[in-house]
Amino acid sequence: MRDNALRGDCTLAADGELRLLQITDMHLMAERGGTLLNMDTDDSLEAVVDTAVKRAHEPHALLITGDIAGDGSAAAYSRLEQALKPLGAPSFWLPGNHDGCSQAHVPTERFSRSLTTPHWHVVMLNSQVEDQVGGHLAAQELEALSAAVDTATTTQRHLLVALHHPLHALGCAWLDPQRVDNASVFMTEVGRCQKSVVVISGHVHQANDLTVEGSRCLTSPSTCIQFEPGQANFKVHDIAPGYRWLTLHPNGDLETAVVRVEGRSFVVDLDSGGYL
Ligand SMILES: [Fe+2]
């Protein structure tokens, strides 16, 4: 998202556990029914939302971790608003590398910088670099992270950080170079936290769960095409789209799992060599 800025703080009243859903990498195209590697990304998003509705998670909030638009179209953002409505929870969005839209064309009230909850402080970061696939945290994002660590520390809260690009290598040689290129600065900052730290990222279209220097670093399936883990070269995975649920407890404990759509198949070009 050009001329982007994540702004403002929202308060979520979640007295006990905080229940979140991570929904990511929708790649919605200009027209409804648009496709990515032959997969209809509106249809797959609706199937993911339907699966989550049936699971009755009762989320306090939805965290949307980027690549909302697949081709930079403004129409993607209004269609996402509609698609998420059945979940009946407020949603908080951040941009990915494919979100090339001007801020004038997106619902800026969705792009909050932080969420304050009774036991967890949530901060959203923008790791997008214009015209690049890979991620980087610019100075203002590192300042926001530092401020969030200060807030979490002084208020005795646990910290959850959401951003599009992962911080660490996942074991996919073609994808790993796209991770945040200054992740060491990030890790030094969160190293100041005295309580739990959880980091959620999108971009990699696969589930991953790493603990690095005491921080739990998670990724989620995309709501459309999936990338096969452990591959040296671009490889689409023949596995259904999905989402991640997270239950964050007042004592800092985390329960989380990925849920995928069941009982139907999706059309996707499994032999593709990649996409831009
Ligand atoms: Fe991405």
Query: pLDDT tens-digit profile of 128-170?
Result: 998 899 999 999 999 999 999 999 999 999 999 999 999 999 9
Kindly tell me if the per-residue pLDDT of 64 is higher than 60. Answer: yes
What's the pLDDT score for residue 110? 92
Instruction: Please report the pLDDT score of residue 170 as a whole number.
Output: 97
Q: Is-contact 105 141, C-beta < 8 A?
A: no
Q: Write out the residues surrounding ion ligand 1, Cβ under 5 A.
A: 67, 96-97, 203
Note whether 204 and 166 are within 8 A (CB).
Answer: yes
Confidence of residue 4 (pLDDT cuts 50, 70, 90): low
Cα of 251 to ligand 1 centre, how many Å? 32
Ligand 1 centroid distance, CA of 1 (Å): 12
Helix H or strand E encompassing 246:
strand 242-248
Cα 166 to middle of ligand 1, angstroms? 10
- The pLDDT of residue 275 is 75
Predicted confidence band of residue 2 (pLDDT cuts 50, 70, 90): low
> Over the range 147-167, which residues count as b (16 or more CB within 10 Å of their CB) and which as e?
ebbebbeeeebbbbbbbbbbb
CA of 63 to the centre of ligand 1 (A): 15
Compute, in angstroms, the gap from residue 150 CA to the centroid of ligand 1. 29
pLDDT above 90 (res 3)? no
Task: Specify whether domain 9-260 bears CATH 3.30.70.1060.
Answer: no
Q: How far is the CA of 85 from the centre of ligand 1 (A)?
A: 23
Residue 15 — very low, low, confident or very high, per pLDDT cuts 50/70/90?
Answer: confident
The per-residue pLDDT for range 247-270, each reduced to its tens digit, is 999 999 999 999 999 999 999 999
What average pLDDT does the segment 7-14 reach? 92
Q: How far is CA 53 from CA 19, 78, 87, 92, 226, in A?
A: 14, 20, 6, 18, 21
Q: Could you tell me the distance, in angstroms and rounded to a whole number, from the CA of residue 204 to the centre of ligand 1?
A: 7
- What is the 225 CA–ligand 1 centroid distance (Å)? 12
* Distance between Cα 16 and ligand 1 center (Å): 33
Q: Any bridge partners for residue 36, and if so which?
A: 39
Query: Which pTM was predicted?
Result: 0.96
Q: Where are the domains of the chain?
A: 9-260
- Distance (Å) from CA 15 to ligand 1 centroid: 33
pLDDT digit string, tens, across residues 199-235 = 999 999 999 999 999 999 999 999 999 999 999 999 9
What CA–CA distance (Å, rounded) separates 106 from 78?
8
Query: What are the tokens at 61?
Result: 């909030």
Asked whether 134 and 175 are in contact (CB, 8 A), the reply is no
pLDDT at 1: 59
